[in-house]
Amino acid sequence: RARVVIIGAGIVGCSAAEHLTRLGWTDVVVLERGLLFEAGGSTSHAPGLVFQTNPSRAMTRLASYGVERYSELELDGKPCFYPVGGLEVAATPERWRDLKRRHGLATSWGIESHLLSPRECVEKSPLLEPGNIYGGFYVPSDGIAKAVRISEAMARLAESRGARFYGGTEVTGIEVKDGRVRAVETSRGRIETEVVLSCAGMWGPRICRMAGAFPQLLVPMQHQYAVTTPVPGLEPESEESDHVILRHQDHSMYFRQQGERYGIGSYRHRVMPVDPDDIGRSGEGMPSIMEFTSEDFRGPWEEARRMLPALRQTEIEHGINGLFSFTPDGGPLIGPSTAVRGFWVAEAIWVTHAAGAARAVAEWMVEGAPQVDLGGLDVSRFDEYARSPSYVMARSSQSFREVYDIIHPMQPMEEPRPLRTSPFYPRQRELGAYFLEASGWERPQWYAANEPLVAGRDIPERDDWSGRYWSPVVGAEHQITRETGGLFDLASLKKAEVGGPGALAFLQRMTTGQMDRPVGSVTYTLMLDPGGGVRSDITVARISRDLFRLGLNGPQDVAWLQRHLPEDGSVWLRDISGGTCCVGVWGPAARELVQSLSPDDLSDEAFGFFQVRRIHVGEVPVLAMRVSYVGELGWELYASADMGLRLWDLLYGAGRPLGVIPAGRGAFEGLRLEKGYRMWGVDVTNEHDPYEAGLGFAVKPEKGDFIGRDAVLRRREEGPRRKLCCLLPDDPRVVVMGSEPVYAEGRPVGYVTSAGYGYSIGRSIAYAWLPPALAEVGQRVEIEYFGRRYGAAVAEEPLFDPAMKRMRG
């Protein structure tokens, strides 16, 4: 028997054991089919370069925790981490510009970094030819992790607290009864347990299949790594490296010194996926290495010798096609299964992120929630279409190709598209919608048909970066929404129904708000994790005594609710996103428009703010909610997808004479920023409590118990650790994109979450997390954007219609 069985003793499994035992779960068994600790998985072959900076704050935090932990560890007197520093160089002007952005990102996420001239780069990486580069981005705390040593050192710590490690023990089955894990079957017998954590890396899909838990969400891919013959002038006795680790992203390559040799990694080759069932099948050699295909390395080798001319005096001594995991969005897979209780995964994790990911999963298992932002890590973030084998293969291949690409924050996936379309899609195409993709949905960003409306309006142009995926039409749609009205397609909103005799009690437990309100009420509320972090913000509409309609943030919300459903069957939950469409009809003319099509009384007396009613719009049965995310009078109109086109045509036709236009997501963003409406996952995550996020109004502790209640009350007592603030740049035309660092008195103090332009107030807007002492209105700060600082000040919010006259109108 064991409290928890971990499958796999690579760096992730060993680190998970260390963190679980550290948090008090000491009865841990780790099973590894290979030999401890050079077990034959990806860990055995990783050259261990740790570059911490990542567009994702969460990923960067996992990495910097890794650096901290790996630096403390030793194995038999040998270090586990060499802090040699990391250098990313630019071989193109575009990359050089992007490295300035990376410098901003690193600063935002709390990592010291410097931009270096070509000469300074050569001081750090002496084999570089300075004539080939524009400059470099240098992080002194990056370095080389000895992955196998770390695994063993972590394992020893775990063993000292009671964990047991068994090598040469293959897991052959997972016993599941009544939807719960009961035992693990191995080549050496059976172990009873109620909790299994799969850290089987690229074999994860096989383990998941044994449990009947997740479909295959990762794809093992070959990746080339080669080592040169000795480089003249390098010292044979230097154990690891005196040179920094080096990235040459314009050619998808990286380099590290390995004593007197150089190691070269390349992603610049064809995508070579491998079936997890085929890995290690032959039983010979190291299962995670395949034969080096030298023809794939020809181009990279040439480029390596161009960038580092000293390598012209060397040959490739040996190379491997090593295997590790890629996922549809490049992120790791962490968290519990909803289908099989007690089954957890921590897979598709780099050496760089292993300790951080292990800490997150251990906190989640023991304490009910990780401290780090879960958004991009949670294994339940994938919708059902995104779990299909063809999607997983297509997107994972793309994440392999893009591993070092410059990715704009709004860049949509190109393939496979279109995947999900709302019933309005044919009309939107006729109107020249420019579509971006969100959760698989084709989502209009603006409509070319509105181009003539731009004339005569003050819509400032944008720079090359913030002007991508943007058009001046966005500004016109924004202003016209406030002048007359806009029709917004809200297809990408996650919608669910919760019903049954236990539904009210269930929602009371899951949310911070009072759900016991009259039928016909809509409530904006929060779901917290047990530590009081904001797990999501949602709307709950009470349709009848035992039936509620929920507006959610994504599949991870559905999974979270499902995992908490009472086992007595008194509550059911149904994701209705696919079959339900929704139009937001917002603006001063919204009432006149919808009323002209409906026999129902839509006056303020009959249909008040934050109310829900079943009405007809023409022939279309509609669930109408009087709410608005853009701060205008109006409704979200929900209908079944079969009648969606009719709904659109009616609204569009009746809206035209009133000057109501279809408006896209670009306008929506600016409108919500003017109103200060937070976007979960961008402005607020589970790392924040409601009070610091400005969402304290949604917490009603007097209603009784709910998940996170004690913790959130404690958090309120303790006061905010930081505050989400509204910033107005001095130059109203400087528009940033989010994730930029914020400085006060020359020091980095916070970072921007979302940003955009308020076309009604004629100002650029940025929201940012700042220390409480700097959160006062009028506080001067600077925002750094591509290496330049722009003055800004904390502003009173909301910026538009603070008395909410328009929505209540």
7 binds ligand FAD (CB under 6 A): yes
Cβ–Cβ < 8 Å for 74, 153: yes
Q: Decide: helix, strand or coil at residue 358.
A: helix
**Least separation in angstroms between CB 287 and ligand FAD:** 7
Give the Cα separation of 104 and 102 in Å (integer). 5
Closest CB to ligand FAD among residues 351, 630: 351
Q: At what angle do helices 351-367 and 57-72 cross, to 10 degrees?
A: 100
276 binds ligand FAD (CB under 6 A): no
**Least separation in angstroms between CB 805 and ligand FAD:** 54
Pattern of binders to ligand FAD over 35-74, x per CB under 6 A? ----xxxxx-xxxxx-------------------------
Q: Per residue in 700-734, is it b (16+ CB within 10 Å) or e — as a string?
A: beeeeebbbbebbeebbeeebebbbbbbbbeeeeb
Contact positions with ligand FAD (CB under 6 A) in 136-155: 147
**Least separation in angstroms between CB 146 and ligand FAD:** 11
Which helix (H) or strand (E) element contains residue 505?
A: helix 503-510
31 binds ligand FAD (CB under 6 A): yes
Cβ–Cβ < 8 Å for 275, 286: no
Count of residues that interact with ligand FAD, criterion CB under 6 A: 39
Q: Decide: helix, strand or coil at residue 230.
A: coil
11 binds ligand FAD (CB under 6 A): yes
User: What residue spans of 164-255 are helical by DSSP H?
Assistant: 204-211
Closest CB to ligand FAD among residues 330, 475: 330
**18, 32, 250, 636: which one contacts ligand FAD (CB under 6 A)?**
32
Q: Decide: helix, strand or coil at residue 231.
A: coil
**Which window, 73-81, 320-328, 440-448, 504-512, contacts ligand FAD (CB under 6 A)?**
320-328
Closest CB to ligand FAD among residues 39, 308: 39
Classify residue 195 as exposed, middle or buried by CB count within 10 Å of its CB (0-12, 13-18, 19+). Answer: buried
Contact positions with ligand FAD (CB under 6 A) in 191-220: 199-203
Closest CB to ligand FAD among residues 272, 679: 272
**68, 72, 123, 170: which one contacts ligand FAD (CB under 6 A)?**
170
Give the Cα separation of 343 and 363 in Å (integer). 15
**17, 30, 33, 355: which one contacts ligand FAD (CB under 6 A)?**
33
13 binds ligand FAD (CB under 6 A): yes
- The set of catalytic residues is 223, 254, 537
**Least separation in angstroms between CB 289 and ligand FAD:** 8
Closest CB to ligand FAD among residues 48, 335: 48
Pattern of binders to ligand FAD over 233-272, x per CB under 6 A? --------------------------------x-------
Cβ–Cβ < 8 Å for 658, 485: yes
Q: Is the peptide bond before 706 cis (omega within 30 degrees of 0)?
A: no
Which helix (H) or strand (E) element contains residue 795?
A: strand 788-795
User: What residue spans of 487-634 are helical by DSSP H?
Assistant: 503-510, 555-564, 590-595
**Least separation in angstroms between CB 203 and ligand FAD:** 4
**2, 5, 6, 10: which one contacts ligand FAD (CB under 6 A)?**
10
**Least separation in angstroms between CB 91 and ligand FAD:** 20
Cβ–Cβ < 8 Å for 575, 494: yes
**137, 225, 751, 757: which one contacts ligand FAD (CB under 6 A)?**
225
Classify residue 175 as exposed, middle or buried by CB count within 10 Å of its CB (0-12, 13-18, 19+). Answer: middle
Give the Cα separation of 32 and 48 in Å (integer). 21
**Which window, 69-77, 343-351, 694-702, 754-762, contacts ligand FAD (CB under 6 A)?**
343-351
Give the Cα separation of 116 and 110 in Å (integer). 19
**101, 223, 549, 665: which one contacts ligand FAD (CB under 6 A)?**
223
Which helix (H) or strand (E) element contains residue 394?
A: helix 389-401
Give the Cα separation of 332 and 11 in Å (integer). 14
Closest CB to ligand FAD among residues 163, 202: 202
**324, 344, 635, 648: which one contacts ligand FAD (CB under 6 A)?**
324
690 phi, psi to nearest 5 deg: -60, -30
**Least separation in angstroms between CB 101 and ligand FAD:** 22
**171, 197, 360, 695: which one contacts ligand FAD (CB under 6 A)?**
171
**2, 5, 6, 8: which one contacts ligand FAD (CB under 6 A)?**
8
Q: Decide: helix, strand or coil at residue 666.
A: helix
**Least separation in angstroms between CB 746 and ligand FAD:** 33
Pattern of binders to ligand FAD over 358-377, x per CB under 6 A? --------------------
**Least separation in angstroms between CB 147 and ligand FAD:** 6
Exposure on the CB side of residue 718, measured as CA atoms within 13 A: 13
Cβ–Cβ < 8 Å for 353, 62: yes
Closest CB to ligand FAD among residues 66, 531: 66
Closest CB to ligand FAD among residues 134, 343: 343
Closest CB to ligand FAD among residues 324, 391: 324
Cβ–Cβ < 8 Å for 583, 648: yes
694 binds ligand FAD (CB under 6 A): no
Cα torsion for 601, 605, 608, 613, to the nearest 10°?
-30
**Least separation in angstroms between CB 251 and ligand FAD:** 16
**Least separation in angstroms between CB 527 and ligand FAD:** 30
**Least separation in angstroms between CB 247 and ligand FAD:** 10
Closest CB to ligand FAD among residues 116, 246: 246
How would you classify the pairing of strands 747-758 and 763-770? antiparallel
Pattern of binders to ligand FAD over 102-121, x per CB under 6 A? --------------------
Closest CB to ligand FAD among residues 8, 555: 8
Closest CB to ligand FAD among residues 218, 630: 218
Residue with tokens 């300074």: 120
**Which window, 322-330, 415-423, 425-433, 515-523, contacts ligand FAD (CB under 6 A)?**
322-330
352 binds ligand FAD (CB under 6 A): yes
**Which window, 18-26, 317-325, 412-420, 767-775, contacts ligand FAD (CB under 6 A)?**
317-325
Closest CB to ligand FAD among residues 47, 472: 47
What count of other Cβ atoms lies within 10 Å of the Cβ of residue 366? 15
Give the Cα separation of 418 and 210 in Å (integer). 33
Classify residue 374 as exposed, middle or buried by CB count within 10 Å of its CB (0-12, 13-18, 19+). Answer: buried
- In the 8-state DSSP scheme, what is residue 482? H
**65, 165, 350, 706: which one contacts ligand FAD (CB under 6 A)?**
350
Closest CA to 400 of 252, 227, 217, 251: 252
- In the 8-state DSSP scheme, what is residue 80? S
Cβ–Cβ < 8 Å for 661, 450: yes
**Which window, 83-91, 349-357, 637-645, 654-662, contacts ligand FAD (CB under 6 A)?**
349-357
Classify residue 215 as exposed, middle or buried by CB count within 10 Å of its CB (0-12, 13-18, 19+). Answer: middle
343 binds ligand FAD (CB under 6 A): no
How would you classify the pairing of strands 723-729 and 661-662? unpaired
Q: Could you tell me which residues come within 8 angstroms of residue 421 by beta carbon, excluding any fewer than 6 positions away?
A: 441, 442, 491
As a residue count, the chain comes to: 809
**Where does this chain bind ligand FAD (CB under 6 A)?**
7-13, 31-34, 39-43, 45-49, 147, 170-171, 199-203, 223, 225, 265, 322-324, 349-352
